[in-house]
Amino acid sequence: MKLSYGRMFSDKLDGQHGLARAQLNDLIQRFPAVIAEVDTRRQRGEYGFYGLGDQGDVVRGIKKFADGVGQAYDHVLVLGIGGSALGMKTLLSALRPPAWNELSDEAREYFPRITILENVDPTSIAGALSRIDPRRVFVNVISKSGGTAETAAQYLVVRAWLDQALGPDAAVRHLAFTTDPAKGPLRELAAREGIAALDVPPEVGGRFSVLTPVGLLPAALIGIDIERLIQGARKALDEAQRPDLLNNPAGLYSALLWAADAWLGARIHVLMPYSDRLRDFAAWFVQLWAESLGKRSDRRGQPIFAGPTPVPAVGATDQHTQVQLFMEGPFDKVVTFVRVEEVDEIKIPTRPGLPDDFAYLPGHTIGELLNAEQEATSAALARMGRMNATISLPRLDAGSVGELIMFMQLATGFAGVWYGVNPFDQPGVELGKRLTFAAMGRPGYSREGSVTLDQSLPSDLAGA
């Protein structure tokens, strides 16, 4: 993985916009203190995801579990939301062929199909259950807290569907929970009913958990090489220990995005992979960056109402939707491209009677066109004075995806220090969860107050 960041600086842009080289020196001077703060906090038990490069036993255990399960089922149904779903969606689209569920058994090498239900939209749930054979499904319910309303409701619906088709005793064999090792309703249910349960390490937060059993079990079930995922993550972790900013890619990336926001007001951070297979990765990044850094208070409890706004895009498609705004709109954005060097070869053929206007295409490949468009967009943004950086992956495989995921998690952890916020809590999300409980009549939550919208009109409009 390589990070190209020259086009963050005004001397590579239009000379007017972008960071000054002197500001990079400032960031370099400050970085040892950032690393030191991360180290101190790690010793206090924060930054638990740093331990995910060393999971030999977990990986072996999951592979054994998946091998046993894999023979008996031909569909995996994942129930979860937010950090308990987006990571697995990323792994599926990045590391399995497109339209996985439509492939024949042979093309899938007899690994199961997979459905990830991440919402409580009744149409999606009914649609999924009508397509899946309950006799051949393995259901993985994922919730770190074990108590999230959406996942609990999904579980109850799916459990009733299983019970009805198979009987309650057999249904238990079709289930595994991934949840906190000691507490929460799912853990209790697992113990009471004898349902298999895997642990989410308590020190790893939901949006940082894709490289725990949260993502590793479903990934292993559909044949993703989870050992290589972790190896890739370890590479990013090793590089993140270096106090020299220019040799610490995740540190450098976090520093540049923070400086663009804090010093130049570029608080919109676009992530634009040039790959359909990384579309879900962009969605995963949006959650990671938004939920970790969008905070009303700093570490000392002082109000700051800080946080960059992440925006997902996909190249080349979004060149024809959002890029006009990135090129000519306000100077409030940084665009990060992700490109993949080695892509499938599809040659663009020639044909008789080819219009002159198309004659430049034959002889090239579709992948060349995709990557040329990425370079052209980066260069065009630079010409317009727009900051941008590019992450290049040699190819999309388990090692590079593990490295990319951990790179972003590390950058988020460093960004927490630059922004002065706790990147691991989410009080805003928790408030929404509590008000949902109140709205649904959960005992003990009535003190959260009413959530009903006041629809009364001002008196001068009421008669209109």
Where does this chain bind ligand PA5 (CB under 6 A)? 81-84, 143-145, 148, 151, 205-207, 291, 426, 429
Work out how close the CB of 426 gets to ligand PA5 at its nearest, in angstroms, rounded to a whole number: 5
Q: Which of 150, 291, 333, 403 is catalytic?
A: 291
| The token pair that represents 216 in the structure block | 């590793």
Phi then psi for residue 456, to 5 deg, are -70, 145
Q: Give the residue at shortest CB distance from ligand PA5.
A: 206
Q: Which is nearer to ligand PA5, 88 or 222 (CB)?
A: 88
Q: Which is nearer to ligand PA5, 381 or 421 (CB)?
A: 421
* DSSP-based three-state secondary structure for 189: helix
Placement of tokens 């950086």 in the chain: 389
Work out how close the CB of 369 gets to ligand PA5 at its nearest, in angstroms, rounded to a whole number: 37
Closest-CA residue to 92 (of 120, 112, 110): 112
* Alpha carbon distance 85, 150 (integer Å): 12
Placement of tokens 């058994």 in the chain: 105
Q: Which of 109, 320, 328, 345 is catalytic?
A: 320
**Which distant-in-sequence residues (6+ apart) come within 8 Å of 420 by Cβ?**
298, 299, 304, 306
| The token pair that represents 438 in the structure block | 């109140």
Active site residue 63: no
* Alpha carbon distance 135, 128 (integer Å): 14
Q: Which is nearer to ligand PA5, 384 or 429 (CB)?
A: 429
Q: Which is nearer to ligand PA5, 113 or 187 (CB)?
A: 187
Q: Which is nearer to ligand PA5, 79 or 255 (CB)?
A: 79
Active site residue 291: yes
Work out how close the CB of 167 gets to ligand PA5 at its nearest, in angstroms, rounded to a whole number: 28
| The token pair that represents 464 in the structure block | 């209109």
User: Which residue type sits at 362?
Assistant: P
User: Which residue type sits at 194?
Assistant: G
Work out how close the CB of 343 gets to ligand PA5 at its nearest, in angstroms, rounded to a whole number: 31
In this structure, what is the dihedral angle of CA atoms 161, 117, 55, 421, given to the nearest 10 degrees? -130
Work out how close the CB of 444 gets to ligand PA5 at its nearest, in angstroms, rounded to a whole number: 18
- Decide: 437 and 448 in contact? Cβ < 8 Å: yes
Active site residue 320: yes
* Alpha carbon distance 363, 114 (integer Å): 38
* Alpha carbon distance 309, 297 (integer Å): 16
Work out how close the CB of 347 gets to ligand PA5 at its nearest, in angstroms, rounded to a whole number: 43
Q: Which is nearer to ligand PA5, 53 or 206 (CB)?
A: 206
Helix 249-264 to helix 21-43 angle (10° resolution) is 120
Give the catalytic positions in this structure. Answer: 291, 320, 433
